[in-house]
Amino acid sequence: MGLTNFVYIIIFVFLMAGAPLSYSWGVDGHYMICRIAQRFLNSPASSAVLDLLPSSANGDLASVCSWADNVRAAYPWSSPLHYVDTPDNLCTYNYTRDCHDSSGNAGNCVVGALNNYSAQLLQYQSSIRTYNLTQALMFFAHFMGDIHQPLHVGFTTDEGGNSITEYWYNTKTNLHSVWDTEIIRTAMSNYYGNDRDTMADSIRTNITRDQIQLWDSYSSYYDLATESIQDACSYAYKDASQNARLNDTYFLSRKSIVETRIAQAGFRLGFLLSQIFL
Ligand SMILES: *[C@@H]1O[C@H](CO)[C@@H](O)[C@H](O)[C@H]1NC(C)=O
Ligand SMILES: *[C@@H]1O[C@H](CO)[C@@H](O)[C@H](O)[C@H]1NC(C)=O
Ligand SMILES: *[C@@H]1O[C@H](CO)[C@@H](O)[C@H](O)[C@H]1NC(C)=O
Ligand SMILES: *[C@@H]1O[C@H](CO)[C@@H](O)[C@H](O)[C@H]1NC(C)=O
Ligand SMILES: *[C@@H]1O[C@H](CO)[C@@H](O)[C@H](O)[C@H]1NC(C)=O
Ligand SMILES: [Zn+2]
Q: pLDDT tens, 122-175? A: 999 998 999 999 999 999 999 999 999 999 999 999 999 999 999 999 999 999
Residue with the larger pLDDT of the pair 19 and 167 = 167
CA of 234 to the centre of ligand 5 (A): 18
CB of 133 within 6 A of ligand 2: the answer is no
User: What's the mean per-residue pLDDT of the chain?
Assistant: 93
User: Which residue puts its alpha carbon closest to atom 5 of ligand 3?
Assistant: 135
Q: What is the pLDDT of residue 9?
A: 40
Which ligand sits closest to the CA of 166?
4
Does residue 188 contact residue 194 with C-beta atoms inside 8 Å? yes
| Confidence band of 23 (pLDDT split at 50, 70, 90) | low
For the chain, domain boundaries = 3-276
Report whether CATH 1.10.575.10 matches the domain 3-276: yes
* Cβ atoms within 10 Å, residue 105: 13
Helices (DSSP H) in 122-246: which residue ranges? 133-148, 175-177, 183-191, 196-205, 209-215, 221-231
Residue 71 alpha carbon to ligand 3 centre in Å: 13
pTM across the whole model? 0.93
* Integer angstrom CA distances of residue 145 from 13, 111, 130: 28, 12, 25
pLDDT reported for residue 138: 98
Q: Which atom of ligand 2 is nearest to the CA of 135?
A: 5
Instruction: Categorize the per-residue pLDDT at 14 as very low, low, confident or very high, splitting at 50, 70 and 90.
Output: very low
* Shortest-distance Cα residue to atom 5 of ligand 4: 249
Confidence of residue 7 (pLDDT cuts 50, 70, 90): very low
What pLDDT is recorded for position 253? 98
* 256 C-beta closer than 6 A to ligand 5: yes
Q: Which residue puts its alpha carbon closest to atom 3 of ligand 2? A: 116
The string of pLDDT tens digits covering residues 27-53 is 999 999 999 999 999 999 999 999 999
Mean pLDDT confidence for 3-12: 40
Please give the distance, rounded to the nearest whole angstrom, from the Cα atom of residue 134 to the centre of ligand 3.
Answer: 7
Q: Is the pLDDT of residue 105 over 90?
A: yes
**Is residue 113 lining ligand 2, measured as CB closer than 6 Å?**
yes
d(CA 185, CA 168): 11
Question: Has residue 12 got a pLDDT over 90?
Answer: no
Q: Span 176-202, mean pLDDT?
A: 98
**Minimal-distance CA residue to ligand 1 atom 4:** 97
Which of 96-100, 125-129, 135-139, 209-213 has the least mean pLDDT? 125-129
Pairing of strands 171-174, 244-246: unpaired
CA angle 228, 100, 75 (to 5 degrees): 95
Quote the pLDDT of residue 5. 45
pLDDT band at 22 (very low <50, low <70, confident <90, very high): low
d(CA 140, CA 65) in angstroms, rounded, equals 9
The residue whose CA has the least distance to atom 3 of ligand 4 is 249
Residue 84 beta carbon below 6 angstroms from any ligand 2 atom = no
Residue whose CA lies nearest to ligand 5 atom number 6? 256
pLDDT at position 101: 96
**Candidate of 175, 178, 245, 247 to mutate for ligand 4, largest count of ligand atoms within 8 Å of Cβ:** 247
Distance CA 211, CA 145 (A): 18
Report which residue type is found at 218: Y
